[in-house]
Amino acid sequence: MIVVTGGTGTVGSRLVRLLVERGEQVRVLCRDRRRAQTLFGDRVETFPVDLADPGSLAPALSGADRLFLLTTAAAVPDGQRAQEHNVITAARTVGVRHVVKLSAHGAHERSPIGFVREHWESERELKASGLAYTILRPGGYLQNFHRIGTDDAIYTCAQDGRTALVDANDIAAVAAVALTEDGHEGRTYTLTGPQAHTYDEAAAILSAAAGRTITHVRVPPAALVEAMAGAGLPRWLARDLTTQYEVIAAGDYDEVSGDVEVVTGRPARSVATFAADEFAGGGATSSDGPRPSAATTSSMLNIFTENPLAALEFYRDRLGFAVSSCWPNQDTPEHVVLRLGTSLLAVSHPAAVKSTGLKPASGSTFELVVSCEDVDRETARLRDGGTRILIEPYRHLGGHRRSYVADPDGNWIALVDTQPGREADPR
């Protein structure tokens, strides 16, 4: 059995699907079991766990012979390192045979980037553990371009530095091979795209595919730290990410590796291919196939939730909305606004919207309100995208007609017609 940590994230979710396709028995360790079950259904076993709690990990790893170790930056410095220590210790205890660890490009004890040094320390512990290991060191992800801002700008302090961004699908493919085929134990793979680009060049490639001008804006490092910290990132992480751009500017991240092709037998995906597949016509694609183009709908979306970013991630992944940026609303600090192609998505804390009178349906986690020009068309689009439609009558809301749908996790979506005064549909 293969255990996957981080299985609901960008790389992990892709890896889980590849392992299932290979006929592997997979267990996903997760914080949110409902989210994991929504993503994978009954194809995998889901196990809720807190990686910061050592006592919870031995049962979670019991019966596993292989492990994919992926953790994300914690709320405090060294938190990620502590989590990986806990997992490696538990893996040794229960007899896991082989660990594939997702590390970071340039992992080294003298890296100026804090979380990269943490990865190196975890690598060192894993190598000393006696467990068979494979280390994957990816660069930045091409999927980060999905967060391009509402002004179609990429903000960095990378200057003219080059970096060979890698596709998350390629990372997952390498991990799947390393976990299921012999010959990768004791190896360290550097995972990059096939060519290193400046961010100016990448912006030009994305612009050509999207049919609109996307620019690279050069921001002073101190201003970039403040912007990321103001958007909610821990300040230490904002500094680390800024330092990573500075390392790129210094020319230290321009390495191009052929390891993706060595392991998988096919070339790594390029920026141009990624852009043509996921930015053409303003739409996007995922490993599950085409996503609806944002240009096909004229909608204003609002999510009312206690956890704006979690709600955003859930709906983006489940419904395929091509979210491209996120920034705080200055009037309502707990209100996060995101661009959705030609539309906007606003995620609000309940305290900021009490006066609206809108309340989530009983037992639901979120309520997504979509104001659209054509309720019937939007309902059909969501149904075509795999969303479960609840058979509910349309209802009036301030003169608008309203249709309720829900995804398989029971989260409500209310479609509100932008043309008030219509008669309610009797269905």
Residue 356 CB partners (closer than 8 Å, separation 6+): 304
Question: Strand 299-304 and strand 343-348: pairing?
Answer: parallel
Q: Nearest 10 degrees: CA dihedral of 65, 70, 71, 73?
A: 160
Query: Can you give 91-153 as a three-state secondary structure string?
Result: HHHHCCCEEEEECCCCCCCCCCCHHHHHHHHHHHHHHHCCCEEEEEEECCEHHHHHHCCCCCE
Whole-number pLDDT of residue 210? 86
Is residue 420 within 8 A of residue 399, CB to CB? The reply is: yes
Polymer length in residues for the chain: 427
Residue 301 CB partners (closer than 8 Å, separation 6+): 321, 340, 343, 344, 345, 346, 368, 369, 370, 371
DSSP 8-state class, residue 183: S
**263-287 pLDDT, tens per residue?**
999 999 999 999 988 887 554 333 3
Q: What percent of the chain has pLDDT above 90? A: 47
Going from the C-alpha of 89 to that of each of 83, 116, 179, 265, the distances in angstroms are 10, 21, 19, 33
Q: What are 397's strand-pairing partners?
A: 400
**174-230 pLDDT, tens per residue?**
999 999 999 999 999 999 999 999 999 999 999 998 888 999 999 999 999 888 877
What distance in Å separates the CA atoms of residue 137 and residue 134, rounded to the nearest whole number? 10
Q: What average pLDDT does range 321-331 have in this prediction?
A: 41
Residue-by-residue DSSP string for 221-273: HHHHHHHHHHTT--HHHHHHHHHHHHHHHTTTT-----HHHHHHSSPPPPHHH
Query: Which CATH architecture best describes the domain 2-264?
Result: 3-Layer(aba) Sandwich (3.40)
Residue 124 CB partners (closer than 8 Å, separation 6+): none
What distance in Å separates the CA atoms of residue 13 and residue 32, rounded to the nearest whole number? 13
What distance in Å separates the CA atoms of residue 412 and residue 362, rounded to the nearest whole number? 10
**101-155 pLDDT, tens per residue?**
999 999 999 999 999 999 999 999 999 999 999 999 999 999 888 878 667 889 9
**403-426 pLDDT, tens per residue?**
555 544 444 555 655 554 443 333
* Domain ranges within the chain, ordered by starting residue: 2-264, 291-417
- Would you tell me how many other CB atoms lie within 10 Å of the CB of residue 234? 16
Closest CA to 346 of 364, 329, 322: 329
Whole-number pLDDT of residue 386? 55
Class of domain 291-417: alpha beta
What distance in Å separates the CA atoms of residue 104 and residue 190, rounded to the nearest whole number? 9
Whole-number pLDDT of residue 340? 42
Burial of 82 per CB tally in 10 Å (0-12, 13-18, 19+): middle
